Chain A
């Protein structure tokens, strides 16, 4: 079992035919808020390993694991090896919105971090099922090779995205932006997970007009209403990106998630990417 579809896809790749993996959150679902359904507990009850995102993104997972009454399930936090971004250095509280005290938890949106997740997955699968260790190791090696190759190609093909100003709906994209050189200039949410207010929308409109920001990108689970309102007042283009595997059409695997998102952005900016 895994909390999200991204980790599930990596587990599927590393585990191959030797594992059956299911994700609790759907790809187009907000991973911050997942309802704890009794049926999830039944699924986790049959699991050998549960892969969590960690960093307090999937706090709901622990209740599902507890409720499953599965004595033997191994719970793995996939964030342990991640070089974490935006770790608060001062005291945080609810007045700041939904700030994660261990840093921004959307680390899987950097493909380099996908390799770290894959290594943890392989390590746990090998220790749990040592007789298929060679297969897991081979799958890991192949995945890392494929990802390295893809990152190299993306870096060249989408080099025109570098230093482009972008406004995101929610702060899910620091790892992605850093990897591909996008410059995040603002968010529609005035504070994390706080619905955009009229004054914030007005502020964003003024910024787009003054700075010439071309694109607003949002996660698939957010409403189009606020971005469309801004687009009606400016010339900004609005796009939806896949925050997880399965979130939008085309993002049907971990590697395709990046290919899809980068292609959407390149088209929105009108830059060449072949």
Chain B
């Protein structure tokens, strides 16, 4: 029903809000190569197509499509109308399919990550390609002396409908078939496996974020997030500090933690009904030249009752020779083999290029 309603809004708006001005078209291509277990492989390759523009003086539309370089169909990542002007009380509305305002990282597209791949702990909760759902969000500036934004969203499906195949994907990645864990009596693994796997009806998310200008070149952003779906809930907190004295230097410190808990109704599917999956990451990224940056990240997750946890530290390096139109990234990190806790060294190289106004912003 909600999908029909939002579809109707978008079609109506596009039909009656047409102008002679064309929207902006952009393409971002990426190629990721990784080296693990003495094997070098093409991890992913594809393009993101963005179509963006104003629908009318009050609303804009953003559509993101993704095509992997394989036989899979084109995926609709986002198709969202945003109304930011014209509403009373400083309200803003987003409607359509979009990445919900939960946590800091969920709204970021992959090409924005200086560390190439999304932190594995966060993908256990938000899904391999993060949570994108059809729904409606309303947000408002709170009347405080600093920037404070509160958003409340409703979706017709929860995180589970989005990341249905994460576990299997983890299992298949990097040909770890010889290392498959014994699942016969490892129920905790099943609990982890089911985190966010099943189709979830109706979900809500909230986020309260604050932004402080400490001075002209130092900024601090703090956020709290919550999610409630059928039989599951998420609480999260995030922090981002940025120092950017000029165009040749910048420092970003970012950290985020999410805790995913299951509720009673989900008992049948989860071995531990009270289990909590906690995931987080902390990242430091330093730009030391107009074109170069390097940093480090620690990615962490734990299952409380299962007494199971994992941590993957990594370092990364980036080179952007011509502004933001092309980026070369390198990451060297530890990859922990789940279940057996074997640690491997993984090297990843990413090449990103962009065409059009939707650039892969570095900072």
Contact = CB atoms under 8 A, between A and B. Distances in A.
Interface of A: 26, 28, 30, 33, 35, 37-39, 41-42, 45, 66-71, 94, 98, 193-195, 221, 223
B141 A194 contact: no
Contact of B248 (A37, A38, A41, A223): A223
A69 B82 CA distance: 11
Contacts, number: 57
A167 B357 CA distance: 30
Tell me if A's interface is mostly helix, strand, loop or mixed.
loop
Contacts of B325: 94
B141 A45 contact: yes
Given A39-B211, A66-B60, A195-B291, A71 B147 contact: no
Given A69-B92, A94-B325, A26 B216 contact: yes
A59 B212 CA distance: 24
B347 interface: no
Contact of B211 (A37, A45, A71, A195): A37
A26 B245 CA distance: 11
A71 B247 contact: no
Given A38-B211, A66-B85, A69-B92, 7 more contacts: A38-B149, A38-B221, A41-B147, A42-B141, A69-B90, A71-B86, A94-B325
B47 interface: no
Contacts of B92: 69
Contacts of B1: none
A1 to B, nearest CB: 15
B244 A67 contact: no
A42 B87 contact: no
B84 A66 contact: yes
Contacts of B212: 39
A101 to B, nearest CB: 12
Contacts of A69: 84-85, 87, 90-92, 141
B346 interface: no
A223 B221 CA distance: 29
A35 B84 CA distance: 19
Given A35-B244, A221-B247, A223-B290, A42 B85 contact: no
Contact of A194 (B86, B87, B248, B322): B322
Contact of A193 (B291, B323, B363): B323
B213 interface: yes
Contacts of A30: 247
Contacts of B216: 26
Contact of A42 (B84, B86, B147, B322): B147
A37 B363 CA distance: 12
B25 interface: no
A183 B163 CA distance: 62
Interface in B336-363: 355, 363
Given A39-B213, A41-B147, A69-B141, A221 B246 contact: yes
Interface string B312-329: 000000000111010000
